[in-house]
Structure 1
Amino acid sequence: MPSPTFRVVALGGSGAGKTVFLSTMFHEMNFRTSRRSYYLETTPEQAIALGNIYARLTDTTQPWPKATLVADSHEYVFDCVGRDPQGHRRKVLTLSFIDYAGGLLERHMDGASQAFHDLQQRIDGANALLVMIDGIRIRQLFENHPAARTYFLSTIRPMLEFAQRANCPLHFILTKWDLVCEVPTLRSLSEGERLGRVVAALMQFDFLKALVYVHSSGQVVRVIPVSSVGAGFAEVDSNGYVVKRPHGTVAPTNVDVPLSVIVPDYFKQVRASLDTATRDAVEAAVRSRLNLKPHEWLGVAASMLGRPAGLVVRTALKGTLGGDVGQEVSTLFLRWLAGPYSAKSAAIGTFRDQAEQEIASVEAVRSAVLDDFTRVVHRFEDNYPQSLLRAP
């Protein structure tokens, strides 16, 4: 069975930590564990490149990894893979992350027009847009450091001119959260309260407030604090530079969340875009078929998508992606609407033929991964109730 691809664009100024975040995310999630039903795979070349970045990041005797240059913007492709009850490898979906060089968005460069055009096209077709905000600048904002205001006006504001093109969910990723947590006025607060204070500080910038006000009415706008190294690994020295502590230990924070929210937030936005009658009709049809076997479910899902309400669903998905999304994304959306997956009473081995067993295996793994994503989102929102930004 073919698997859908979800496209993500990451924007951020030089040194915001985009590539470092991707290397840590991959390092944390490229192995099997009992705590989740999937792991990430990529090409050997990209695995080695990300591994080298991570090794440099975590080695306290080495300087920080270098910032991405304009000519070095990269696409990182990760396969989300699970194992069925028989231990067979099943690819559930693919995630494409475009890591754009920060310098492209900060100043004019000769020959960059093609890169700008490519960036605009990528944003137009994205399932999620990550806007990376450097945590050290957030820290400086609380310290009333003039460099903070310069950063938000000269780096973040131009970046949001591109971000406002997007029809997909917008995720503001607050990097270096470990350094933000050390701000004296934030140190004693809970994580949720801390994020609330930071969001209030960010909303002092009219262009940020305006983007949230306009886009949150029809798009999911979320803020996610992350730390690629965790508390105690880095500190700000007397000259204002971020340095590694000699015996620091890496313990990343929330690096799984930006990946986990991509599909649920995208589907949540599509669901909200449906008119009430269509949404009720589709959800009622989905609920009435929950007891079907996996191969039966896929056949019915295909039939549902051919009906008027199903055509509206496909149109909504197409409107977000800017192209035909295909049967796989549409079917995955219906499975997400169905809610938590419950294993059928019949074992996979009891299905009539090999084709039915194959479908049942893939469907079981796919549903388990969707459930894992949803659990991460719920846990994150419990800890950070102000993560979803809405117009006042």
Structure 2
Amino acid sequence: MNNYSIIMLGPSGSGKTVFLSSLYKKLSTQSELGFFLQVDTGEKRKRLNNIYTQVAADEKWPAGTRYSEVSEWTFTCRVQNPSDLSIYDACCFTYLDYAGGRINEEMDEEDENSEFNDNKFKAADALLGLLDGQKLCALMGKEKIGTVWAVNDLRNMIDVMQPSPKPVHFVISKWDIVEQNYTLEQIRDRLLEIDEFKNLVKLRNQGGSPVRLIPVSAVGKGFAIAKPDGSMEKTGEFPKPFQVEVPLACILPDMIQVMMEELIRKRKSELETPIEVKPNIGFLDLIGQLFAGGLKIVQELLPRKYQFPGKTLETLIEWAETPAQQKIAFAARRTEELRREQAESLKKVADEETALAHAINCFVSIQNQLVYRFPASELKVI
């Protein structure tokens, strides 16, 4: 079974631990999203449930990952067929949660290199950077704490991300607090005024590696309010996680985009006579021009864990290679169509391959909704 790894980066207090517990809370049972997650051990299941219980019921918030700790969480994505209730594994996602202190606290060079430049980091399929929603609000309000966050925490996170060519998902935590005063467009524009952030986005745009800005809330609207001293006070409402599944759903579509861009660049450099690409040619037609044998040959050239069946791969490519501005209109038009496709693929789930095909349909549908609700989420620098 394929396993996809995600490095979670964020300074102390950004909410990585709470995010993971919220992700598991929302996806521990199959819902309208069409799939569910199972954590790899009973101890980790209990730990995540205990963390979320503390979030929901205790006055204090859970403690963050300790400086010396690197937590690894493996979730199996599973699908339950509604006809006979049989359950099938689709794939796995492993999250490596690096302690926040490694982002914003000083350490010796040997320790830094051993933690951030190991094989697991290089082999990651995506990078997930947690942006503290409260710190973003402070940045928007030109408060000192926001400036310190931007020039220290954000800068250090970008330094760590820069060597990797993999997709980057910037996840805005505590969106329930942020949205009371700011839109995602306003947050995006402010972040792009920061040179390091803008340069990271621009270079990845040029290299065909997606960068996303994804608003999430581990607890949902109305669960907590920000106090003048910067702390969060719980209101007694029941938590309702918002969009915590979206970063996970974006991993495979974004990695396919990276892989396809790399294959195309390599193929163009190999050709002795450049192919003249006709205007407005479809991406699948372009593949047919560049590769004799078309999609079937491309499928064989991809790394093994991305060698999806033809129709599944075609679904991912069609979505991944749709230009950003077209995606907005595409998303509005395809919402119901994707729901129907998801419902049909669920009925066909009978083994690991059909479970994965269904899960990918779910991922595309979730990403489609992200683009529809938040057009500014796909970061582009012209």
Give the structure-1-normalised TM-score.
0.78
Distance in 1, Cα, partners of 2:24 & 2:212:
22
Q: 1:74 aligns with which of 71, 74, 78?
A: 71
Which residue pairs with 1:225 in the alignment?
Answer: 215
Cα distance 1:332–1:72, how it changes in 2: closer, same or farther (>3 A)? farther
Which residue pairs with 1:51 in the alignment?
Answer: 49
1:239-262 per-residue CA deviation (whole Å, 9 max, x = no partner) reads: 2322222x2331221111111111
Distance in 2, Cα, partners of 1:333 & 1:244:
49
Which residue pairs with 1:337 in the alignment?
Answer: 314
Cα distance 1:360–1:148, how it changes in 2: closer, same or farther (>3 A)? same
Matches within 5 A, 1:205-244: 205-218=194-207, 219-244=209-234
Which residue pairs with 1:65 in the alignment?
Answer: 62
1:143-193 per-residue CA deviation (whole Å, 9 max, x = no partner) reads: 21111111111111011111001111010011111111222xx3xxxxxxx
Matches within 5 A, 1:4-153: 4-33=2-31, 35-42=32-39, 43-59=41-57, 61-84=58-81, 85-109=83-107, 113-114=110-111, 116-121=113-118, 122-153=120-151
Structure 1 window deviating more from structure 2 (83-92 vs 11-20): it is 83-92
Cα distance 1:75–1:145, how it changes in 2: closer, same or farther (>3 A)? same
Which residue pairs with 2:180 in the alignment?
Answer: 182
Which residue pairs with 2:245 in the alignment?
Answer: 256
What one-letter code is carried by the residue in structure 1 that aligns with 2:110?
S
Which residue pairs with 1:190 in the alignment?
Answer: none
How big is the shift at 1:363?
2.8
Distance in 2, Cα, partners of 1:142 & 1:199:
11
Distance in 2, Cα, partners of 1:160 & 1:200:
17
Structure 1 window deviating more from structure 2 (271-280 vs 68-77): it is 271-280
Which residue pairs with 1:296 in the alignment?
Answer: none
Contact 1:40 1:80 in 2 (8 A): yes
Distance in 1, Cα, partners of 2:180 & 2:75:
33
Mark the runs of 5 or more structure 2 residues left unpaired by the alignment: 269-282, 317-337
Look up the SS of the partner of 2:239 in the other structure: coil
Q: 1:170 aligns with which of 153, 168, 174?
A: 168
Contact 2:18 2:51 in 1 (8 A): yes
Cα distance 1:153–1:49, how it changes in 2: closer, same or farther (>3 A)? same
Which residue pairs with 2:321 in the alignment?
Answer: none
Cα distance 1:182–1:74, how it changes in 2: closer, same or farther (>3 A)? same
How big is the shift at 1:233?
1.2
How big is the shift at 1:342?
8.9
Which residue pairs with 1:384 in the alignment?
Answer: 374
How big is the shift at 1:228?
0.5
Distance in 1, Cα, partners of 2:7 & 2:310:
21
Cα distance 1:281–1:203, how it changes in 2: closer, same or farther (>3 A)? closer
Contact 2:54 2:61 in 1 (8 A): yes
Cα distance 1:273–1:243, how it changes in 2: closer, same or farther (>3 A)? same
Contact 1:76 1:97 in 2 (8 A): yes
Distance in 2, Cα, partners of 1:36 & 1:107:
38
How big is the shift at 1:335?
2.3
Distance in 1, Cα, partners of 2:343 & 2:216:
34
Aligned length: 336
What one-letter code is carried by the residue in structure 2 that aligns with 1:120?
N
How big is the shift at 1:281?
7.0
Look up the SS of the partner of 2:197 in the other structure: helix
How big is the shift at 1:338?
4.5
Distance in 1, Cα, partners of 2:343 & 2:222:
42
Cα distance 1:62–1:270, how it changes in 2: closer, same or farther (>3 A)? same
1:173-230 per-residue CA deviation (whole Å, 9 max, x = no partner) reads: 11111111222xx3xxxxxxx1011101111211111111111222111110111111
How big is the shift at 1:344?
9.7
How big is the shift at 1:62?
2.3
Matched, 1:202 2:179: no
Contact 2:220 2:240 in 1 (8 A): yes
What one-letter code is carried by the residue in structure 2 that aligns with 1:23?
S
Look up the SS of the partner of 1:215 in the other structure: helix
Distance in 2, Cα, partners of 1:138 & 1:228:
16
Distance in 2, Cα, partners of 1:225 & 1:155:
19
Cα distance 1:244–1:343, how it changes in 2: closer, same or farther (>3 A)? closer
Report percent identity of matched pairs: 25
What one-letter code is carried by the residue in structure 2 that aligns with 1:80?
C
Distance in 2, Cα, partners of 1:130 & 1:147:
23
Look up the SS of the partner of 1:76 in the other structure: strand
